[in-house]
Chain A
Amino acid sequence: MRLKLETRAEPSRLMGYLSPLFAAMLTVIAGFILFSALGKNPLQAFYTFFIYPVHDLNGFAELLLKASPLMLIAVGLACGYRANVWNIGAEGQLVLGAIFAGGVALYFHGSESGLILPTMVVAGAIGGMLWAAIPALLRTRFNTNEILVSLMLVYVANFLLSWLVHEPWRDPEGFNFPQSKQFTESALYPVLLPGTRLNVGFLISLAAVGAGYVFLNRSFLGFQMRVAGLADAAARYAGFNAHRMIWLGLLVGGAAAGVAGMGEVAGPIGQLLPSVSPGYGFAAIIVAFVGRLHPIGILLASLLMSLLYLGGEAAQMGLQLPSAMTGLFQGMLLFFLLGSDVFINYRVKVVRPPKVQVQLAQAAA
């Protein structure tokens, strides 16, 4: 007697909704086991990691604050992933967005103009798109794999940022620390919820989720991208321009990441530093998958992911566990999701040995 995977005649829609929930549950269970193994009281650790961070208004605002770049980037990435365009370098595009936006902020440093902030948003988008255009160009003209190119550019972007804050853009009054001047009020996002750090950038992210929904599910262009991702021979047959899909897929992701990067430096960070992101670009990839490349799912998944970030910080302070726990949980979540996804297309069956079945068949006949 053994277990066998049997293909379903039609993919299960129910499992499509349930599998992220399964994955989340399994992650929590794994967390329990992990906490116990580390010698911490699992219930207390669970509370510290998952509940405490959002127990007050400020905590809730932090949840939304961290979810904001995640959902923005993930929606952008999802557009590309649906078309089999694998943008893995969102982290680098985020950095470029931060650099471009930061450049605008520094150039107009001291000015009170209300145009600075919108210009920074546009600059951030341009920076991200520029960085994403490189893998797009190389893939369409030279058939180069965009996964590796976009990833290599993450490292390059980080080095570029490092050089900028160490050298030309270093704050002369910054005690020689590698950082830029702090941005003035006119170059910072206004706060949305007084007393917290939640800012207007959150509204931009929500708008992006809405736009993503319309684009992916209702627009013809979104349809073309889905076809390209599911069956590229069919996309060619239909006359959909494959190159356009690639450019669009990468540029949308790049723009989203760039605006998210701008949001970090115009938001909680308030200046340019050698590191402007705790890995949001990579975490957003997980958010996109866990959210099943669907804007609503992405919204929910970004909240979960944000909680994992907060949990890691809380665990460091309250449980003396390294904040690297966050990365660990995030990776586990994605693994569990990929594993649970199997039930969408397959069913588990118990296989009995043939002779029993001969009797069954004879009985039935």
Chain B
Amino acid sequence: MMDTLIPILVAAVAAGTPMVFAALGELVTEKSGVLNLGVEGMMLMGAVTGFAVASQTGNPWVGALAGMVAGAAMALIFAVLTLNLMANQVASGLALTLFGVGLSAFLGKPYESVSLTVAPPPAIPLLSQIPVLGPLLFNYHLLVYVSWALFAAIAWFLYRSRAGLVLRSIGESPESAHAIGYPVIRIRYLATLFGGAMAGLGGAYLSEFYAPLWVEGMTAGRGWIALALVVFATWRPARVMIGAYLFGGVTIAQFFAQGAGIAIASQFLSSLPYLATIVVLVFISRNLATIRLNAPVSLAKSYRPD
């Protein structure tokens, strides 16, 4: 039983990693009170940029970095629109997604049948030999470990650092934070750019290391699922991780089901992640008090200092 379970769990973790990056990044953004619905667009831009740069330079890490920059650049457009020009956050986020989908399709045309040579994930010597835990914890691509470190860093930042306290206070009441003297707009900019960079990194991981290939629209809604994950996790980092890996599991379920010869139409299995997203959203939203107590109070509301 362990023989089949471990590979499933490992595959789930790997499949969930793009969403870990994107959702953790969006979590930080939303904690500052900004709702950026453009995650899908930013992930796609990160994916296409990472792939293209990796393909041109032969170095996937430069590609990953480029993916982060691309995601942050997209987030910058959104930030200027919503934080300086006071545009509606919902509409701007949608615009960012549509733009990102279109731009990435356009930029990625030359790379559609290109293949990247990627080294297989290095098995960490010794540690990966430990029975059960070894293959479960120590057989991943480096970026997966980076995502774990990121989770720890974000959790510490939000709840144990002064800067994180300031960020959370801005998310709750930008007026009060401004009255005390904190640079609300500047901090929101940083939080938004960070979210963009993380979404870009998630996309780059997907196209460069997980797939690895580039196809138009290859994130297939992962950016939206990441947004749902933040809600499902009631804005807490640990729950984001759990949710992301659960979704990773649902995403790969179709492959394992087909492999196990279960006779369900592939389309139904493919739609499971999306149906599951709806179910978890309903589950977490039905108690209004839960959302009220955990969501950053100023989320998605425009703020303008005098």
Contact = CB atoms under 8 A, between A and B. Distances in A.
Interface of A: 5, 7, 86, 88, 138, 141-145, 147-149, 151-153, 155-156, 159-160, 162-163, 166-167, 282, 285-286, 289, 322, 324-332, 334-335, 338-339, 341-342, 345-346
B95 A338 contact: yes
A297 B278 CA distance: 34
Contact of B277 (A88, A148, A163): A148
B268 A152 contact: no
Nearest to A163: B267
A327 B275 contact: no
B281 A342 contact: no
Nearest to B82: A338
Nearest to A331: B99
Contacts of A289: 91
Given A322-B106, A331-B95, A334-B91, 11 more contacts: A138-B282, A142-B285, A145-B231, A152-B274, A162-B267, A282-B98, A322-B109, A329-B102, A331-B100, A338-B91, A339-B85
Interface in B261-294: 265, 267-268, 270-271, 274-275, 277-278, 281-282, 285-286, 288, 291
A339 B85 CA distance: 7
B175 interface: no
Q: Which 5 A-B pairs have the closest CB atoms?
A: A327-B102, A331-B99, A324-B105, A163-B267, A328-B102
7 contacts: A143-B291, A160-B271, A286-B95, A328-B103, A331-B95, A331-B99, A339-B81
B92 interface: yes
B134 interface: no
A159 B264 CA distance: 13
B102 A324 contact: yes
A298 to B, nearest CB: 15
Contacts of B291: 143
B174 to A, nearest CB: 17
Interface in B99-141: 99-103, 105-106, 109
B77 interface: yes
A155 B268 contact: no
Interface on chain A toward B: helix, strand, loop, or mixed SS? helix
Contacts of B105: 322, 324, 327-328
Interface in B133-168: none
Interface string B170-211: 000000000000000000000000000000000000000000
A235 B60 CA distance: 54
Nearest to B78: A335
- Interface SS majority for chain B: helix
B200 to A, nearest CB: 17
A58 to B, nearest CB: 27
B18 to A, nearest CB: 16
B270 A335 contact: no
B87 interface: yes
Contact of A147 (B37, B77, B109): B37
B109 A324 contact: yes
A168 B291 CA distance: 42
Given A149-B281, A152-B221, A322-B109, A86 B274 contact: no
Contacts of B85: 5, 338-339, 342
A327 B278 contact: no
B212 to A, nearest CB: 21
A85 to B, nearest CB: 11
Contacts of A328: 99, 102-103, 105-106
A112 B87 CA distance: 53
B95 A334 contact: yes
B34 interface: no
Contacts of B281: 138, 144-145, 148-149
